[in-house]
Structure 1
């Protein structure tokens, strides 16, 4: 177990985030500097936050599967990275290094943009990728999604908002998300609105019912609420479909290191996601 991550416990907040980022800086920054983006700030909608970057390793060649990554940030903050640093952009590089096209998106943030803005933005970004990624060497018929924290929530909302989601993407990996199995946290009301709107706005029922192949992950040092969401969704999927979805418990990791370590020497989550995607892409 990593002593640095373990010492941070289950705490959330900018200090914990900064400590985790500092821990991975050396490995991630040096790897990222070796792969500039293929295309930056591709506009998938009218808002200034409607932008995504693309990553590809080498020449185009045969069309490649596409992974669209949706970052976290508690609905209030977050950025696709690249010019601002390796964070979040590293997932695009990780996808590219594993033979895919990596796409990393921004989305509108609360409190200026409330529910369902994030889910709507994932819908718009998926539509853009479907229409445009072939020009960059990607296969629009082989798209998968990865979301972490608030990004996982927005991917789940995509399943709720788009009845045709299974015809647009082939699979999704959701890391430490909130789906509606636990009560509303006051902080999240800045995105969801009042408590009486919470249940109907959460993607709980849609993500339980969806036929889309899912990989559901949480971390050993995720806050208990996130772990309860993970186990709640696992149980709901088992009850609905008669079998568990593919799942991963990231021992030795916390809420931030879960996605942040993709592309490092710790390949446990990476191998799990790649093996999962290989069955559908």
Structure 2
């Protein structure tokens, strides 16, 4: 979208203008997005533990599965964002539609945020809970599984992949009917060394006094050999201090520990922190560059 550069790169500065810019794009595609069947299910006892399940045209014993974790700064977000500023019910249904229309079962879970019982490692635990629900639903067959997270959702996806206490969840998708193939981290704030003062309360609420140890970069040092391929995605209009620099630190530390071939990297030209996922399901090839890169990597991983 040509006007993205004028919104700036700072996360809170770019948020509302970007959401509003995609409102009409999503509205124009409402009938297409809503044509993808969606069901809501509960995957845990907490009120936040619900998920949206998007179905492709047909489901067989080997239909692949994508689990998407949205962002929201650890304190906000919803599996279908309300209006305003977004088109009612279409974000993140656009992602469910995008992958389902390409043959993937797509699962988008809500998770506990700060103020709702969300404290580290609850984000990774809730991804584990959603995976357990998926395993119970598909207890036969051989379904390839991919996890993709954006921003705070990437933080939670990294927690699921690296946190030692979640080893049993990772082990549970190494064999059986659901087999993990890879994890995609989109615009991950891998540490918060340059986070503004306005972020302090939320970070303290989520990480308590272990921010440095339990942020994604800190998790690398305590992780064992990763049990899934990893793709790290950034956008050229991501903020340098909050995303690009921390993400690069994460990549460097990960490669140093697990080898230079342990992860892949992609930079999306012309996208900002939000447009990478908002552009999916629009039917525009340039807007959907994240999906194209992820699908290509899936075929290689």
- Report the TM range for the smaller structure's normalisation: 0.7 to 0.9
Q: CA deviation at 1:29?
A: 3.3
Three-state SS of the structure 1 residue aligned to 2:210 is helix
Alignment of 1:11-160 (within 5 A): 11-13=10-12, 16-34=14-32, 35-36=34-35, 38-81=37-80, 84-116=88-120, 117-133=122-138, 141-159=143-161, 160=163
- State how far apart, in whole Å, the 1-side matches of 2:38 and 2:95 are: 15
Q: 1:48 to 1:56 in 2, by over 3 A?
A: same
Q: Which residue in the other structure is 1:278 paired with?
A: 299
- State how far apart, in whole Å, the 2-side matches of 1:154 and 1:79 are: 15
Bigger mean CA deviation after superposition, 114-123 or 67-76: 114-123
Three-state SS of the structure 1 residue aligned to 2:52 is strand
Aligned residue among 269, 275, 278 for 2:290: 269
Three-state SS of the structure 1 residue aligned to 2:66 is strand
Matched residue pairs, number? 275
Aligned residue among 242, 247, 250 for 2:265: 247
Q: Unpaired runs of 5+ in structure 2?
A: 83-87, 174-179
Q: In the TM superposition, what whole-angstrom CA distance separates every residue of 1:77-134 from its partner, at most 9, and x where no partner exists? A: 1111188411112111111011111111111111332322222111111111122146
Q: 1:33 to 1:207 in 2, by over 3 A?
A: farther
Three-state SS of the structure 1 residue aligned to 2:57 is coil
- State how far apart, in whole Å, the 2-side matches of 1:140 and 1:118 are: 26
Q: Which residue in the other structure is 1:204 paired with?
A: 217
Contact 1:38 1:56 in 2 (8 A): yes
- State how far apart, in whole Å, the 2-side matches of 1:96 and 1:206 are: 32
Q: Taking structure 1 as the reference length, what is the TM-score of the superposition? A: 0.87
Q: Which residue in the other structure is 2:238 paired with?
A: 222
Q: Taking structure 2 as the reference length, what is the TM-score of the superposition? A: 0.81
- State how far apart, in whole Å, the 2-side matches of 1:38 and 1:155 are: 25
Three-state SS of the structure 2 residue aligned to 1:156 is helix
Q: Which residue in the other structure is 2:85 paired with?
A: none
Contact 1:182 1:228 in 2 (8 A): no
Three-state SS of the structure 2 residue aligned to 1:170 is strand
- Alpha-carbon RMSD across the aligned residues, in angstroms, is 2.6
Q: In the TM superposition, what whole-angstrom CA distance separates every residue of 1:127-167 from its partner, at most 9, and x where no partner exists? A: 111221469xxx66411111001100111111214224265
Q: CA deviation at 1:181?
A: 7.0
- State how far apart, in whole Å, the 1-side matches of 2:2 and 2:236 are: 13
Q: Unpaired runs of 5+ in structure 1?
A: none
